[in-house]
Amino acid sequence: MDLSKIIPTSDEIEVTLVYPGTDKVLENDDGTPMTITLHAPHTKEYKAGVYEQANKRIKEQQKEFTVQDWEASTTDLLIKSIKSWDITFDGEKPKATKAKIKEVITSKAGFWIVDQLQEKVNSFEAFTPA
């Protein structure tokens, strides 16, 4: 075995959104599945979000880190790690800007998306078996 051959097979995680509590794939009006593509945890883009959060916590170390802070931190990292999406929201297919991503995944209609994204990040396997 050559260690230099053990590299990730993908730098992205594609999440197909499903109706909460089911396996039913959500579809856009054109019949395509709603998807969100994330940068994988080993990428520089994902790590930049982790580093930004860690540095922020270091600067605010006098402040108690609450459950609310943890939830906001987790959501913020997911927002920063979203590379692209193909969704329908409020009757349109919005561009994946950071502001729009935050609006969608923190809204009453989209809060459950965070759980689906986090589940895929947590179960992401970037390597193929040897």
Rounded CA gap, 45 and 3, in Å? 24
How many Å apart are CA 27 and CA 33, to the nearest integer?
4
Per-residue pLDDT of the chain (130 residues; tens, 9 = 90+): 788 878 888 899 999 999 999 999 999 999 999 999 999 999 999 999 999 988 888 887 767 878 888 888 888 999 999 999 999 999 999 999 999 999 999 999 888 999 999 999 988 876 655 5
Angle at 105 between CA 99 and CA 87, to 5 degrees: 85
Contacts of 108 (CB under 8 A, 6+ apart): none
